[in-house]
């Protein structure tokens, strides 16, 4: 008979089965069993594919290993609800109970796994439950509220009313990676300090009795457990620093950490307050394709353009060459500048085109005919936007020579 894994209730002779399981585990241990072959975890309640009203419920599960169970992890919909060691680290079969206080109807998948003292995790076991009915109370999301204490009522005081126990919740919120953000590239054997900024999102102050502890993943020579260095009131933040050394071989490494309260219960971050905060580094050369340049920004506006002439002035004598200069700009880039010109006695025409430039020059002349000379410029961008500058007009005049410098009638 295989251990119960799907949440279906144990049969009536479950006690005989448990005694047999313990004997089998002990015999397996005496026979030199290695690895995670005997490591298992399974649900006793709630039953798989069962339906319940939205209300607090107790989750009951078992974990077993011939060498003793080191850690049990319970998750709800892929988020860790609790992760803690058993009361006895040497028992081959342990029972775990956890209070779960769901807030909304829906389908939930409960998953359990166990870890032995060699650091090996068992295969996951799951139980799928459906919660129905309206929410009958308003409570803080994710808060597991302890049951009121059952203190006997004094017979001598008929007016005495028992007071419920005060809920004390330990929970953290991740604020920032102060040092070593995810996927930081480090050399093999390099010492470094990882610093997380966390906020106390529970209602219990943290003091030196609270310890930062490594829970699983790559240990990287961490110096935990470490006491919380200063008093952190609810709502306060603290920077937690852990010294580590990178592994000697290349690869990507992740180490998970939580905080352990004075009662030995681990907690972390996330909505459930049980998700570990972690360090993730890359040792050696980064693998994968080379990073690509970000896509260009969208071209959302037409370019601007202006044009001027040299020598300057509103009138220029005949026989003079004139240089026309157009300048343009765009939020992405100018792809074309055209200079248009109408000289005295000539038809309008495009005299110069410059591509992928923000400035364009054209020199014309010398102009020998008297009259008006006009010019303008057009700028375009890759999106097809075009802008035309203002039209400028110059008077080309004839210099009359040989006139007397003075005289009278």
Report the mean per-residue pLDDT for the chain.
Answer: 81
**404 or 261, greater pLDDT:** 261
pLDDT band at 273 (very low <50, low <70, confident <90, very high): confident
Looking at residue 241, what is its pLDDT? 94
Q: Flag whether pLDDT at 251 surpasses 90.
A: yes
CATH class of domain segment(s) 14-132: mainly beta
Q: Flag whether pLDDT at 17 surpasses 80.
A: no
Q: How far apart are CA 177 and CA 180, in angstroms?
A: 7
* 19-33, 233-247, 273-287: which is most confident: 233-247
Do residues 388 and 376 lie in contact, with contact meaning Cβ atoms separated by under 8 Å?
A: yes
Q: How far apart are CA 244 and CA 189, in angstroms?
A: 10
Tell me the two tokens of residue 341: 């010109």
**6 or 354, greater pLDDT:** 354
pLDDT band at 392 (very low <50, low <70, confident <90, very high): very high
Q: What is the mean pLDDT of residues 155-175?
A: 64
Q: Flag whether pLDDT at 317 surpasses 80.
A: yes
User: Pairing state of beta strands 184-186 and 277-283?
Assistant: parallel
Looking at residue 24, what is its pLDDT? 45
pLDDT band at 291 (very low <50, low <70, confident <90, very high): low
Q: What is the mean pLDDT of residues 174-191?
A: 95
Looking at residue 35, what is its pLDDT? 40
pLDDT band at 407 (very low <50, low <70, confident <90, very high): very low
Helices (H), 198-275: none
**321 or 142, greater pLDDT:** 321
Looking at residue 404, what is its pLDDT? 52
Looking at residue 290, what is its pLDDT? 55
Looking at residue 289, what is its pLDDT? 57
Q: How far is CA 132 from the centre of its chain?
A: 33
Q: Flag whether pLDDT at 395 surpasses 60.
A: yes
3-state secondary structure 326-376: EEEECCCCEEEEEEEEECCCCCCEEEEEEECCCEEEEEEEEECCCEEEEEE
Looking at residue 69, what is its pLDDT? 87
- Fold for domain 304-397? Immunoglobulin-like (2.60.40)
Domain boundaries, the chain: 14-132, 172-283, 304-397
Tell me the two tokens of residue 222: 């961490």
Q: Flag whether pLDDT at 88 surpasses 50.
A: yes
Looking at residue 345, what is its pLDDT? 86
Percent of the chain with pLDDT over 70: 78
* 57-71, 237-251, 259-273: which is most confident: 237-251
Looking at residue 165, what is its pLDDT? 45
CATH 1.20.1090.10 fits 172-283, yes or no: no
Q: Flag whether pLDDT at 211 surpasses 80.
A: yes
pLDDT band at 168 (very low <50, low <70, confident <90, very high): confident
Q: Identify the weakest region by mean pLDDT among 242-251, 371-380, 395-404.
A: 395-404
**Backbone φ and ψ of 281, nearest 5°:** -130, 165
């Amino acid at each position: 008979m295989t251990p119960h894994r799907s949440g279906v209730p144990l049969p009536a002779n479950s006690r005989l089965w448990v005694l047999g399981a313990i004997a089998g585990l002990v015999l397996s241990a005496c026979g030199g069993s290695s690895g995670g072959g005997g490591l298992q975890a399974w649900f006793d309640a709630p039953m798989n594919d069962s339906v319940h009203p939205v209300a607090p419920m107790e989750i009951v599960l078992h974990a077993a290993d011939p060498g003793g169970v080191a850690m049990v992890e319970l998750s709800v919909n892929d988020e860790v609800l609790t992760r803690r060691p058993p009361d006895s680290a040497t028992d081959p079969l342990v029972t775990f109970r956890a209070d779960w206080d769901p807030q909304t109807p829906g389908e939930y998948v409960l998953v359990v796994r166990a870890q032995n003292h060699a650091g090996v995790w068992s295969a996951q076991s799951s139980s799928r439950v459906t919660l129905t009915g309206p929410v009958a109370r308003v409570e803080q999301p994710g808060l597991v509220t302890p049951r009121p204490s059952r203190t006997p009522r004094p017979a001598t005081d008929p007016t005495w009313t028992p007071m419920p126990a005060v809920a004390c919740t330990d929970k953290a919120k991740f604020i920032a990676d102060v040092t070593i953000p995810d996927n930081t590239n480090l050399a093999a054997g390099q010492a470094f300090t990882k610093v997380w900024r966390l906020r106390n999102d529970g209602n219990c102050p943290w003091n030196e009795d609270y310890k930062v502890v490594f829970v699983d993943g790559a240990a990287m020579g961490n110096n935990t457990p470490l006491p919380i260095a200063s008093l952190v009131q609810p709502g306060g933040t603290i920077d937690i620093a852990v010294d580590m050394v990178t592994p000697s071989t290349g690869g990507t490494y992740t180490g998970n950490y939580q905080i352990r309260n004075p009662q030995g219960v681990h907690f972390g971050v996330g909505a459930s307050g049980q998700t570990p905060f972690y360090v993730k580094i890359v040792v050696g050369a980064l693998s994968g394709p080379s990073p690509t340049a970000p896509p260009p920004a969208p071209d959302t506006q037409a370019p601007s353009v202006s044009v001027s002439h040299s020598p300057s002035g509103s009138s220029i004598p005949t026989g003079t060459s004139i240089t026309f200069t157009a300048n343009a700009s765009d939020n992405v880039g100018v792809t074309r500048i055209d200079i248009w010109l109408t000289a005295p006695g000539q038809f309008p025409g495009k005299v110069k085109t410059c591509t992928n430039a923000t400035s364009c020059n054209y020199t014309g002349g010398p102009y020998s005919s008297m009259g008006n000379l006009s010019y303008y410029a057009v700028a375009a961008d890759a999106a097809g936007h075009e802008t035309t500058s203002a039209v400028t007009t110059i008077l080309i005049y004839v210099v009359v020579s040989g006139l007397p410098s003075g005289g009278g009638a």
